[in-house]
A and B are shown apart, each in its own frame.
Chain A
């Protein structure tokens, strides 16, 4: 960084002195019962969490609702006070805290107290709404028109007991352990009631408590944002061949796909992947040959002679080298792909791992591996062959068929199709096998899946999920969230291998 290093950090932005007025610090208040609530999250801000919804209930009635944007990680933890009216009585207050992603809301229709599984039925929107509570202030119905999407929120209830003249601090962590678990406001879904309410805490449903309670009224200045399974990568874990992917949480899927040639990747969910390493490039013919020389017994379908350029037959592998050693190896079934990765000391990635590498290692999830912009025909290898009678959108003026990963002298040829971490060929090139069985996100196999390192098995696993578009695909397939249902035994020239490995 040179001489600039000395200057960096020399300036700070601070806000002017306007703090006198806020809750926890207003010492001029009469001796009301007061609770300072300090809310933090361990999920990444702003990629996963950007807003906080606070609802306050007392005596079975909804008293207040606030919804605030906290897109800057320095604004966490968020704190506020709840103060009892000066009537000398003790108050029991139920506070619902929901940290959620910016823009992840739905209309409020009163389903808020149903179970996660119920809400995630594919036809849930058609279910008759249960009448939820309404927020009425001064005889006006001011119920918020929307509420956080349950699957993209961490939802937590706390109960505060406000006693005249006493103050307490309640510290609450909205953890990724509880992502997508809706709170239940009371035994009767329509009446808030602390004794019947349940909420997710430390990953399990539990009666409502007050968070961590102590007597100090100070607000901590450090946040745990981003620490949920947030294992960093040591520098040496990334090499020329493999890239280390830090552990962390992200939103799997996308609610913004309107035109999908396949099942849309929704509903979304918050998941985390542990730290792992991934091949920087798809497995090449040369690498397959080297593995076989070391004793790997599988063999891809070969093209002897000139390689055809039709999707089904473009198999770069040949029994003897034929000048195609730099191509990504294709025409491999699932078993062969899995066996190859295992022989290399790794395994196939899960769908979640693949999507994290391809879209969610930066500050914000992107639509394509390299960013939000559609890759041009020069930036990624796709649309290189006519499909269903339509000319390949990138075929004009370019050779038909797949493009090698490396030239004969080892120069990378797809290096513009690159993720922020430097993983190449995720958008185009070849599709890639994952270890997961295919099931729609809205279906049963996904609803019970672990939030951390989710894996999906469906029966005998006849249908696998493959990810990533290929030289055959039109543009719509290139989005990082696109999932393809692929026969376990499928062997064709658009599907190859990328392995993942344990991180050191």
Chain B
């Protein structure tokens, strides 16, 4: 860059009113509360291309007077933590007395993921500390430690705060959580697959509209996934024929008279580039196994579908137009994306403009729409034992849901559905893993070394 530069350091501006006055020195003693966290803090925003979004983007302080449960006036601050800010000491606040209240003060500190919403327990690291008495003169340092591993498990509460520790941040702790750094695959992808880099991301989308209970996914949890290989596209009719396993329901099959839109025909007719649908979870997995692969887990598929960059959809945050993805070809959705050449079935794989995720090995196609996709996991509602909140490493749910046994998860966007189904956090399930088939649902395979 030459010519001009933004010289301001935005981070510092936020904390004290911007201006040329130096912040007034406290007339008397004060506490300086430092936040120490191993969470990776982003660079000063806009200084680097941020394809790896920060895990946490908001830091809030709230000070409570004795006996109070709402912060005192002027005693709440909210800011965006950055690495440079941390180096300048901007992850600290001063607590100054102006009258007699200088003891039994409680401070709630929260590091959280905003997503445009107030803090939520599942994506918040929180401490409520009882502050030492504010000294008459001089500074007393207090340190509040917010480790990523304690996400969703607050330390202390307004009723029983933990005693604030005197001191300053520990050497070497800041930013030491390394799992957010993308981990490349150990080997090159084979033809037809791409490497999905491993890393930490937030599974779940707090802005999801639950609508009906069939589709959850609005609770968040921090998930760390190792790198894996994922097929570039949904398994096609032609590929399934070559594999020679699986008996997807034939369009002519009278047993499933209510299912329309199946792509595979036993007589060998039909377009080989259409994705397979109308196949049970059991048969889909068998096909992947025969290829030396497996179905992806929920966490893997969601990571690939936009989780890695914290997008709502595979391509970003914005709702799609009709050509962007294969969706909206049913009768009751807005927008109505039916076209004259649509035949009430999925379209050829890779026919959407924006439903593509670039990765090493090629573009991952149709993760949002076309057919929904089976995952390896058993269904557990997002608040059932498999899931909940916290930090999960390579999670795979293999226990029966207490409320809905024998169900497998699929990820929900498909050719006849509305745009909201294509959000990467959206979870859905079908009961009867051996028998149940749906025209909505196909699959793709994943592989680990």
A residues in contact (CB < 8 Å) with B: 4, 6-26, 29, 34, 50, 54, 56, 58-59, 63-72, 74-75, 77-85, 87, 91, 93, 101-107, 122-127, 137-138, 140-146, 149, 162, 217-219, 221, 255-260, 263-264, 266, 364, 476
Q: Which of B9, B17, B335 contacts A221 (CB under 8 A)? A: B17
Q: Which of A6, A124, A258 contacts B418 (CB under 8 A)? A: A258
B244: interface (CB < 8 Å): no
Q: List 9 A-B contacts (CB under 8 A).
A: A9-B98, A11-B105, A15-B15, A18-B88, A25-B20, A126-B322, A145-B51, A255-B319, A364-B118
B75 adjacent to A14 (CB under 8 Å): no
B101 partner residues in chain A, CB cutoff 8 A: 7, 10-11
Q: How large is the interface on B (under 10, 10 to 19, 20 to 34, 35 or more residues)?
A: 35 or more
Q: Which of A67, A72, A93, A219 contacts B14 (CB under 8 A)? A: A72
B133: interface (CB < 8 Å): no
A9 adjacent to B12 (CB under 8 Å): no
- Known A-B contacts A10-B97, A15-B92; the reply to A105 vs B317 at CB < 8 A is yes
A142 partner residues in chain B, CB cutoff 8 A: 48-49
B138 partner residues in chain A, CB cutoff 8 A: none
Digitize B1-39: 1 where CB-to-A-CB distance is under 8 Å, 0 elsewhere. 111111111101111111110111110001010000000
In the complex, besides A11-B95, A260-B334, A364-B118, 7 extra interface pairs with C-beta distance below 8 angstroms are A10-B97, A54-B6, A83-B4, A101-B116, A103-B114, A126-B324, A258-B419
Query: In the complex, A150 Cα to B11 Cα: how many Å?
Result: 25
Digitize B208-231: 1 where CB-to-A-CB distance is under 8 Å, 0 elsewhere. 111110010000000000000000
- Known A-B contacts A12-B74, A102-B116; the reply to A7 vs B100 at CB < 8 A is yes
B309: interface (CB < 8 Å): yes
Q: Which of B18, B105, B215, B322 contacts A219 (CB under 8 A)? A: B18
Which of B55-63, B150-158, B268-276, B361-369 interfaces with chain A?
A: B55-63
B318 adjacent to A259 (CB under 8 Å): no
B435: interface (CB < 8 Å): no
B7 partner residues in chain A, CB cutoff 8 A: 22-23, 26, 29, 34, 80-83
B residues in contact (CB < 8 Å) with A: 1-10, 12-20, 22-26, 30, 32, 44-51, 57-58, 61, 63, 65, 68, 72-80, 88-90, 92-101, 105, 114-118, 207-212, 215, 309, 315-324, 334-335, 353-354, 418-421, 423, 426
- Known A-B contacts A54-B6, A259-B211; the reply to A123 vs B48 at CB < 8 A is no
B18 adjacent to A106 (CB under 8 Å): no
Query: In the complex, A456 Cα to B36 Cα: how many Å?
Result: 53
- Known A-B contacts A9-B74, A14-B16; the reply to A162 vs B309 at CB < 8 A is no
A59 partner residues in chain B, CB cutoff 8 A: 3
A79 adjacent to B96 (CB under 8 Å): no
B2 partner residues in chain A, CB cutoff 8 A: 85
What's the least CB distance linking B327 to chain A, in Å? Answer: 12
What's the least CB distance linking B320 to chain A, in Å? Answer: 6
- Known A-B contacts A12-B74, A259-B212; the reply to A126 vs B319 at CB < 8 A is no
B19 adjacent to A221 (CB under 8 Å): yes
- Known A-B contacts A11-B98, A21-B88; the reply to A162 vs B4 at CB < 8 A is yes
Query: In the complex, A78 Cα to B17 Cα: how many Å?
Result: 9
- Known A-B contacts A12-B74, A56-B4, A78-B13; the reply to A72 vs B48 at CB < 8 A is no
B207 adjacent to A91 (CB under 8 Å): no
Q: Which of B65, B94, B98, B114 contacts A102 (CB under 8 A)? A: B114
- Known A-B contacts A11-B72, A218-B19; the reply to A106 vs B318 at CB < 8 A is yes
B96 partner residues in chain A, CB cutoff 8 A: 11-14
Which residue of chain B has the shortest Cβ distance to A141 in the bound complex? B49
What's the least CB distance linking A216 to chain B, in Å? Answer: 10
A72 adjacent to B1 (CB under 8 Å): no
B309 partner residues in chain A, CB cutoff 8 A: 145
B63 partner residues in chain A, CB cutoff 8 A: 11, 13
- Known A-B contacts A13-B63, A15-B15; the reply to A124 vs B321 at CB < 8 A is yes
Number of A-B contacts (CB under 8 A): 284
A8 adjacent to B73 (CB under 8 Å): yes
What's the least CB distance linking A186 to chain B, in Å? Answer: 18
A67 adjacent to B46 (CB under 8 Å): yes
B5 adjacent to A66 (CB under 8 Å): no
Q: Which of B61, B80, B117, B211 contacts A258 (CB under 8 A)? A: B211
Which residue of chain B has the shortest Cβ distance to A59 in the bound complex? B3
Which residue of chain A has the shortest Cβ distance to B92 in the bound complex? A16
Interface centre among A15, A63, A257 (most CB of B within 10 A): A15
- Known A-B contacts A6-B99, A13-B61, A24-B18; the reply to A144 vs B4 at CB < 8 A is no
Q: Which of A7, A64, A68 contacts B10 (CB under 8 A)? A: A68
Query: In the complex, A258 Cα to B426 Cα: how many Å?
Result: 10
A63 adjacent to B20 (CB under 8 Å): no
A82 adjacent to B61 (CB under 8 Å): no
A219 adjacent to B319 (CB under 8 Å): no
Query: In the complex, A77 Cα to B208 Cα: how many Å?
Result: 32
B423 adjacent to A258 (CB under 8 Å): yes
What's the least CB distance linking A444 to chain B, in Å? Answer: 16
What's the least CB distance linking B82 to chain A, in Å? Answer: 9
A146 adjacent to B316 (CB under 8 Å): yes
Query: In the complex, A13 Cα to B94 Cα: how many Å?
Result: 6
What's the least CB distance linking A336 to chain B, in Å? Answer: 31
B20 adjacent to A218 (CB under 8 Å): yes
Query: In the complex, A84 Cα to B88 Cα: how many Å?
Result: 24
Query: In the complex, A264 Cα to B335 Cα: how many Å?
Result: 9
Query: In the complex, A221 Cα to B16 Cα: how many Å?
Result: 10
Interface centre among A93, A217, A259 (most CB of B within 10 A): A259
Question: Which 9 A-B pairs give the minimum distances between C-beta atoms?
Answer: A258-B420, A103-B116, A259-B211, A125-B321, A80-B8, A107-B316, A66-B46, A126-B321, A106-B318
Query: In the complex, A342 Cα to B99 Cα: how many Å?
Result: 55
B321 partner residues in chain A, CB cutoff 8 A: 123-127
Which residue of chain B has the shortest Cβ distance to A70 in the bound complex? B14
What's the least CB distance linking A108 to chain B, in Å? Answer: 9
A145 partner residues in chain B, CB cutoff 8 A: 49-51, 309, 316
A256 adjacent to B12 (CB under 8 Å): no
Which residue of chain B has the shortest Cβ distance to A29 in the bound complex? B7
A63 adjacent to B93 (CB under 8 Å): no
Query: In the complex, A321 Cα to B14 Cα: how many Å?
Result: 63
What's the least CB distance linking A77 to chain B, in Å? Answer: 7
A21 adjacent to B9 (CB under 8 Å): yes
Q: Which of A14, A18, A264 contacts B12 (CB under 8 A)? A: A18
A264 partner residues in chain B, CB cutoff 8 A: 334
What's the least CB distance linking A354 to chain B, in Å? Answer: 21
A20 partner residues in chain B, CB cutoff 8 A: 22
A103 adjacent to B207 (CB under 8 Å): yes
Which residue of chain A has the shortest Cβ distance to B421 in the bound complex? A258
A66 partner residues in chain B, CB cutoff 8 A: 6, 10, 44-47
Q: Which of A105, A123, A257 contacts B335 (CB under 8 A)? A: A123
B25 adjacent to A71 (CB under 8 Å): no
B16 partner residues in chain A, CB cutoff 8 A: 14-15, 19
A8 partner residues in chain B, CB cutoff 8 A: 65, 72-73
Query: In the complex, A13 Cα to B322 Cα: how many Å?
Result: 50
B419 partner residues in chain A, CB cutoff 8 A: 258
What's the least CB distance linking B32 to chain A, in Å? Answer: 6
Query: In the complex, A13 Cα to B96 Cα: how many Å?
Result: 6
What's the least CB distance linking A346 to chain B, in Å? Answer: 34
Q: Which of B45, B105, B211, B323 contacts A126 (CB under 8 A)? A: B323
A69 adjacent to B420 (CB under 8 Å): no
Q: Which of A58, A65, A144, A476 contacts B211 (CB under 8 A)? A: A476
A78 adjacent to B18 (CB under 8 Å): yes
B1 partner residues in chain A, CB cutoff 8 A: 63-64, 137-138
- Known A-B contacts A64-B5, A67-B46, A266-B319; the reply to A79 vs B72 at CB < 8 A is no
Query: In the complex, A29 Cα to B20 Cα: how many Å?
Result: 14
B61 partner residues in chain A, CB cutoff 8 A: 13
A125 adjacent to B320 (CB under 8 Å): yes
Which residue of chain A has the shortest Cβ distance to B61 in the bound complex? A13
Q: Which of A14, A79, A162 contacts B94 (CB under 8 A)? A: A14
- Known A-B contacts A18-B89, A77-B18; the reply to A63 vs B3 at CB < 8 A is yes
- Known A-B contacts A17-B25, A56-B6, A162-B4; the reply to A144 vs B99 at CB < 8 A is no
